[in-house]
Chains A and B, each alone.
Chain A
């Protein structure tokens, strides 16, 4: 299947092998990444991800505002540095727990023998919320990071 095994064949065959292997690589990469895999499954089932409200988790709120203040105050101080470190650790934990939600939703889906239809939508909704929340957290962390470095 790999194009390297077709090098002694004609140019057409090498081209075909390259293209089909490119497709295979893409399929593998999609299935390997939990988010990409979820998006792919949503697409198959024609499930539309609704833009739910993304909220700042209460566990993070206080830290977040402290950090904002510190960044405006003096973005390079030792105190700010520590706050950034603490905050990114908290975000990391939050992302992990969202990952767990997502994984659980898909595990449940697997137990239902992976239906590609409306019956799966409640589980897909759960999973998609986890993904959206994750993206929100990640972009927030990136934003802060940028402010900190600038």
Chain B
């Protein structure tokens, strides 16, 4: 569904690129082939103002974190597309998530709980507004980046956040791939590059082949719960022990939040110096906390080595050796940590490429991809891959892979299913994503209920299900029964996040939603309704003709013409009126057709049959 300036003649085809980061977010646009950042860095922090019942995101919210931690949320990206069961794998930090459900993690700010999608959409709105101010025009379309290793649920959640912010998300693009686009923009050379992207909450490694404007991803791997945040949290846990526990209750959100902020500050300082000291205020008492780089390196080493293991796996998948890599591009703020750089340098036995600004390069790349999609940039094309294998749960609880990881997208696979019981009307397909062999160890994406099968003996129906992964890395499923050639209706029950309907209803209950959008929506809905009524009117006319009924035929034809003319306009009330007139005109003939049909049915049955039906 598209929401936005449907009938605004001044609508511009401008598409922005957005890096929705764990710690910071940015928005960029490409003008005359050159991408540029539109506003400064927007911290990915959201504050809930209880008094004004209002959310704000960005620097203002970040500054409130120091004094009002219980109403402030940060690093919500970690919760996108996840549910309660995932909490055990996540480093939580200072956040209250006790209201979470199986489908969504809910973040409690004061008296209210929000989904990660809602909070992320607030960041997107802030970016959108500041970009609109900068450009002096409205923005309705965007390319949003996600970690390459994001699964389908996490991607869908990101897109939902965009929709909720009033943006038509025309593409979800992988962060390291976006970075490669920005990096390779003015380098015409053909090369193999590795993009090492260590952000606030996620880690990605992507290996790409650059040849003649084609950016081909060979393999990607990562961990969506590993980033600079984990450095901070690990450090904060150790710092806590340095503070004398004077018997007062310390485990408050505010205390935790301050401690994590202090750890973050210390981490920054230790990237420059061999040792550093920060002050942290707890219960109106100031404490000095000191740490050396050597100690810091020791505690983060296991995390850094984890990224190297993942990098090795990606190299094996791409069938390349570390020494084949021409350039190692560093992306994400956490690549400023000296131990990360040293470890990588040792691994690749090569100097690292730090020519790009690791914080800006992803947003710039998103803007380049936006330029490609708008048709402005004809020289470049991006060939990305599926990060994780897709499969179906088979009998016995294992996973049958249908699309393997690192397959180029878009990609399609077909699988045939059948029934196990005579007259079975539906088949349930459980779609999973992951590399493990047992269904229970993989990520459940959703259950597809194939309904409306014609009654047939067991094993006879052949339901061909098509799995299409589009250029966003998002799965689309369609099905067809081959024996009778009927399209099968599919009902999707997503395991995580919000359904499209939920997003839509949130969107329309949101305060921001202006009258204009409502009108557009009404118009679209009325048009759809009108198409349906026109179809049935045509049907009634035909049936009437075959039964030689001719009451009010001319009248109906006139009203049909009227509806057709009104549909072309943009006044939904006029269409509604025309539809009402048509319905009134068609009533007598419809009633007569109905009567005749009933009569003929009754004539073929005896009275008991008719009564039994009731």
Contact surface of A with B, Cβ cutoff 8 Å: 2-5, 7-8, 18-19, 21-23, 25-26, 28-29
Contact = CB atoms under 8 A, between A and B. Distances in A.
11 contacts: A4-B381, A4-B382, A5-B375, A5-B381, A7-B375, A18-B410, A18-B470, A23-B412, A25-B410, A25-B411, A29-B408
Nearest to A2: B381
Contacts of A23: 412
B374 A26 contact: no
Contacts of A8: 13, 373-375
Contacts of A19: 410, 412, 468
Contacts of A18: 410, 468, 470-471
Nearest to B468: A22
Given A7-B375, A8-B374, A18-B468, A26 B411 contact: yes
Q: Of A3, A25, A28, which is in contact with the most chain B CB atoms at under 10 Å from its CB? A: A25
A3 B408 contact: no
Interface in B349-403: 372-375, 378, 381-383
A29 B407 contact: yes
Interface in B502-538: none
Given A3-B471, A4-B382, A8-B13, A22 B372 contact: no
Contacts of B468: 18-19, 22
A7 B170 contact: yes
**Binding site secondary structure of chain A:** helix
B19 to A, nearest CB: 19
Contacts of B13: 8
Contacts of A29: 407-408
B107 to A, nearest CB: 34
A25 B383 CA distance: 10
Ordered nearest first, which 6 A-B pairs have the shortest CB separation?
A22-B412, A7-B373, A22-B410, A25-B408, A8-B375, A18-B410
Contacts of B382: 4
Nearest to A7: B373
Which of A3, A18, A19, A26 has the most chain B CB atoms closer than 10 A to its own CB? A18
B373 A4 contact: yes
Nearest to A28: B408
A5 B471 CA distance: 12
A28 B409 CA distance: 12
A45 B437 CA distance: 34
Contacts of A21: 410
Given A26-B411, A29-B408, 13 more contacts: A3-B470, A4-B381, A4-B382, A4-B471, A8-B13, A18-B468, A18-B471, A22-B409, A22-B411, A22-B412, A22-B469, A25-B408, A26-B412
Contacts of B410: 3, 18-19, 21-22, 25
A18 B13 CA distance: 22
A32 to B, nearest CB: 10
A33 B410 CA distance: 18
A46 to B, nearest CB: 21
A18 B471 CA distance: 8
Nearest to B378: A5
A53 to B, nearest CB: 28
Contacts of A26: 411-412
Nearest to A1: B381
A8 B409 CA distance: 19
Contacts of A25: 407-411
Contacts of B412: 19, 22-23, 26
A129 to B, nearest CB: 24
**Chain A CB within 10 A, most for which of B378, B382, B410, B468:** B410
Nearest to B2: A11
Contacts of A4: 372-373, 381-382, 471
A21 B381 CA distance: 13
Q: Which of A3, A4, A26 has the largest count of B CB atoms less than 10 A from its CB?
A: A4
Interface string B161-172: 000000000110
A22 B381 CA distance: 15
B142 to A, nearest CB: 13
A103 B297 CA distance: 49
